[in-house]
Amino acid sequence: MTYSIVARRQAPGRVLEPDQFGGEGWQALDVKGWDLCVRSLAGASSEDRFDTIDRLSCVVLGSPTNLARLRSVAAVFDSDAVTASVAKLFRILYAALGTPAFALVEGPFNYLEFTEDTVFAANDALGMQPLHIVKGRHLWLTSELKYVGRIEPGVFRFLPTQAVVESDNRPDDYLPIDNARRLKPGSCIRLFLDGAAHATANASTYHVPRLTIAQHLSPAEAKRWMADLLTEMVQSSVDTADRILIPLSGGLDSSMVTSLASRKRADIETFALGTGHSNEFPFARIVAEHVNTRHQEINFSSLDIVDGIDQAIFHNEIFDGLSAEIQSTLMCFYRSVGGQGARVVTGYGSDLLFGGVLDRTDSFENINARLWAQIYRTRWTGEFSPFGAAAFGLDVQHPFWRPALIGFATSLAPQMKMSERDVKIALRECAEECDLLPASIVWRKKIGIHEGSSVNAIFADHVGTSVKDYKQKTIYCYERYMSYLNGHAMPGENLK
């Protein structure tokens, strides 16, 4: 998988070299008018992700999950699509269908076309594969801002801390940086450079997600759709020659993913993650024994968790306290199991789709709006970005976080997300009726990913605040975010 790009308008006497970025997997590409480097997972090649077609230099980043289906569509327009490079496949689709072609792609991606004086770029509908434009002494396009900060120190004009923490109501292309722009999820942009190298950007959207009116589906029909979609998403995620590693808490979401994955492959490896404060090991064991996975238990120290928070801020460029907290255990997991030829598959995101974040005080008429606000929030937080896993040599897939499943779940009737009995009611009944899991797991009380191992309390103790004080946690994250992007510190170091 090729997952990161840094491109700079060429300047006399200045050339970007892969060794300037540190780490393995960087490769320079020959593109007229641009210095361009891409990064792939260790042992992976970027060969089919880069192609020159009709004087266009085409690049694909990320891990689109439905390439076989895309090839079958593209073959209608060009028979070469069946065997073409991934870059040429995207070019065929875009040339034939225009920007709506990108709505066909499942999974995180960027597609870029370079000429000497223009750049075209498109990203995935959910914003999982971010792309940024930075205007400093040079014009930059980059997946990860920290590499621009490393090459051009002091380039970023950060917003004041108070302006960042005072409100959580942000557009989905939000960045706390005055001279940087994040490409809006589900959109395309074309940059034109004039004779003096000044840039003009024209942007358009191909996918604008909105909250819709609730479906008029019977519970039985809704659960059939749910079962079919989940099966397709999970089993496509494990359809690879790589090892499959699943962080398994014993909660409903990771347990359903494990059960469905085990119906596709018999060699699933599961890992229960805990801390010295608490863990969910007994529940994870029940699931691992039920579906017969190779199962391990890993305990992290409080220092590990704090380092995981810092790793989340650094790699996924997260400045939001809640998102960094939630990602910390996954970062510790990536570090523990990292290596070539492995894919992590998670149950992350299900709570926002099916009601796991709800409580009995929520009124039914507001349930879908509340969940939609949480889904929209993920489009700027960085929590679904691939860079944390990739830093440790891993590809990561989140089967719940696919446009088809999100579109279905957001329009489910509120009564299927919460009842007098419990939250996530339809998802629980679906798991029970499909005989995926024991009843003790299906009807287990919901616990957040950051609560089951007391990560929220560990973070609060480290910051010196209360467990629910996410303003102070965000201030902590934003201070590190600024320092990391400026190249002043690395995770594990004191801020300068």
Question: Which residues are marked as active site?
Answer: 348, 383
Tokens of 462: 């480290």
Other Cβ atoms less than 10 A from the Cβ of 474: the count is 24
Are the C-beta atoms of residues 38 and 59 closer than 8 Å to each other? yes
Dihedral sign of CA atoms 2, 8, 9, 15 in order: negative
CA 206, CA 165: separation in Å to the nearest integer? 31
Are the C-beta atoms of residues 150 and 21 closer than 8 Å to each other? yes
CA 222, CA 432: separation in Å to the nearest integer? 14
367 φ, ψ to 5°? -60, -50
Residues with Cβ within 8 Å of residue 271, at least 6 apart in sequence: 245, 246, 247, 248, 295, 296, 297, 298, 333, 336, 337
Tokens of 75: 């073959």
Task: Name the residue type at position 167.
Answer: S
CA 347, CA 261: separation in Å to the nearest integer? 11
Are the C-beta atoms of residues 426 and 226 closer than 8 Å to each other? yes
Dihedral sign of CA atoms 59, 61, 67, 73 in order: negative
